[in-house]
Amino acid sequence: MPVAHNLREVASKQRLLVLAVGIMLILQAINIGLNFMPRVNDSSDSMLASVSLAISILYLGVVIFSIVALLMLAATLHYGLASRILLAVLMFCPCVNIITMLVINGQATKILTRGGITVGFFGANMRQFDQGGRF
């Protein structure tokens, strides 16, 4: 027997997860770009190290946000407690965390499209829910 989902809630949680992934990718690209900056003297080297440290701290915050967003989406998709604990553990494994987020995001997309919601690159457009209807 299929489980009924609140499509608006699934869409909002999915957007949080997509936002977290996007910010993670941007911060990672900036951090990689900093490694290719020319080092002129010691003061520029220490400035680059400070900026890299600040970006790494921001990245850690976004990772925590992405774990929370993933767990909220998993709860909305009616995952059990043991499954959510496993997902949280997988989020600490490099590369596996991206695959985990993509799989859960794919499941949310499938549920939304089955419910008649158009899902784009950044998730479902929330204006679809404001137009009334059965969502």
The domain locations on the chain are: 7-124
Please state the pTM of the whole predicted model.
0.82
- pLDDT tens-digit readout, 3-16: 667 899 999 999 99
Percentage above 90 pLDDT, the chain: 48
- pLDDT tens-digit readout, 56-115: 899 999 999 999 999 999 999 999 999 999 999 999 888 898 899 999 999 999 999 998
| Alpha carbon distances (Å) from 58 to 76, 82, 88, 101, 129 | 27, 29, 19, 19, 32
Of 87, 93, 83, 86, nearest to 67 by C-alpha is 87
Tell me what pLDDT residue 5 has. Answer: 76
- pLDDT tens-digit readout, 25-56: 899 899 888 888 777 777 777 888 888 899 98
> Between vectors from CA 91 to CA 103 and to CA 7, what angle results, nearest 5°?
45
Tell me what pLDDT residue 93 has. Answer: 86
